[in-house]
Structure 1
Amino acid sequence: MTDQNQQILLAGRPEGWVEARHFRLEQGPIPEPGEGEVLVRNHWLSLDPYMRGRMSDAKSYAEPVALGAVMVGGTAGEVVVSRDPHFKPGDQVVGMLGWQLYGVAPGRMLQKVDTTHVPLAAYLGPVGMPGVTAWYGLNAICEPKTGETVVVTAASGAVGSVVGQLAKAKGCRAVGVAGGAEKCRYVVEELGFDACVDYKAGKLKDDLKAALPRGVDCLFENVGGEIFDALLARTNAFARIALCGMIADYNTTDPYCMKNVRTVLINRLKLQGFIVSEHMEQWPVALRELGGMVAAGKLHYRESIAHGLENAPEAFIGMLKGRNFGKQLVKLV
């Protein structure tokens, strides 16, 4: 064990695009766990779009990260010291210990995981928060029926890739939207979607029309903006929309003005936003299904990996700009 902790702190609140100057790397002592607490050496750090919202002090569903505080984030690592009888050194755990090498948390805030058949990093992706997000939004909100068309935006990402595969397993037609020919090939050829529209090709409306001859019954929306607007126009009557993310607007000072909102009324759509952490009662069922699928090789995923905590800010900025392929992680050991 090294004798120093490394942490990345929030140094400033961005207006528009996040820049490296909004973060600060610091070193300090390794924290000591108190009674009922556990010290963890983080092996993996998860980078996710929601973190952009936590950098802002605008009103939201969660408190912002304070200036000078460790950036929030999911982690997976190994117990070093435990003062909780339910954990022992060497246990593999996931938690929310943030952008740092070592973290302390109450035992009740950590989840012990089995890495026999599922890699540790996967507990931050398809068998973690992104996977449960996909599972909940699809099953609880979209409620797809066999033969229906399910559309997923950001289809090659950590959430979208799982949504499409779960939809296929339910007998649905899965259509993705992704940025670039390479990502669309991956979505169709490796993930098994029926079609994928490249929104960067410059023919968004025409390509959506061609890919969706029977319209949209379920939409899992991760992007927002022009893509969401164009898909609203393709919805069928009584379609269901799980509004998971609006990444197109996270870094802009001039949000896109929706033109097809009246479709919600005309087609009697169900449109529901959700925060997966508000539905913890569903996590055990979701994780059992997702873990079983990954262990059996029935749920495919891809990871983009940055190496070293010091490279987390650049990887995060790249993810917000769509440079990542699949789940964005930082390897800390």
Structure 2
Amino acid sequence: MSAAEFAAANLSRATGAGLDPHEYLRVTGELADLEEWGEAFVRAAHGHLVRAGQAATAISAGEHFQVAARWFHFATLGPNRERALAAAEADTAMGRALDLLEPGARRIEGPGFTGWLRGPADVAATAVVVPGLDSGKEEFHDVINALLRRGMAVFAMDGPGQGVLADTTTVRADYHHVIGQVIDALGTDRVGLVGLSLGGYYVAESAARESRVAAAITVSGPFRLHWDLLPRPVREILIQRAGGEPAARDFAGQVDLSTLASQIACPLLVVDGGQDVIPGVANGESLARLTPHGQYLRLSHGDHLLGNARPDWLAAAADWISGALT
């Protein structure tokens, strides 16, 4: 895949993460080869760190740190020999941003997760945002903000094989153990879950096996994975995040909600894009149909993560989970 093709495929994902589309097009338009991706995105991130240091107010500095975190995170999506360093830089920059913009935000960590709890203290509703295969807690800017605006506390997390933990841990299909640790650490008796891409599977699997999940949303989540049909780039990422091809094949074989769906007792909203066609990944219609309290929203023009159809689902989904939890 050329640099231009890769950049175009990730444009709606980048804007959903809070990257300015004009800056994104300028940075990616200067790439002569996809191998330059990581270096170019890290360079853009450093530009925002410089702006943060020159900012006249804490608000402006915090906003630049926040944008830098997202550029560092996106540096990990393409070829990057310093991927682990970029993920660590994203984590650090987000921490500096929240120190300035949301001093009440708390870092919460456990054996298999880390993340930031944002929003008002002692609220009735807490939502956990679960990333996917190559995403992390710095990415889903639009989803997190939509939940915060509705008065919820939001825990944006990295789990095994994700974000800042990708270099030291590997993916696991029994993600409900991680969500159980998160709920314990949050000190609440019920949470809502929002999972994106592979995070959609993590959320559904957790909803089936963790009774403290009170409502859940999956966005572009797989119902089942077929290793032999997965595109080569997806297989390569999974091999990296699983710690080798045998482990990756085993993980893919466990991603199957056909028997777990009927065990999801809480309300579940499944959101799919009609233009999200990844060979080897069955869409979520089966999950919504087999789940006792499932609802299905399919937008025919939506791509993977539906970044090109945000007005058609994001506000409605945020309202839905807010209502389900409160």
The alignment's TM-score, normalised by the length of structure 2, stands at: 0.29
Counting helix residues as a fraction of each chain, which structure ranks higher? 2
Structure of larger gyration radius: 1
Counting strand residues as a fraction of each chain, which structure ranks higher? 1
The alignment's TM-score, normalised by the length of structure 1, stands at: 0.29
Quick one: higher RCO (CA 8 Å, sep 6+), 1 or 2?
1
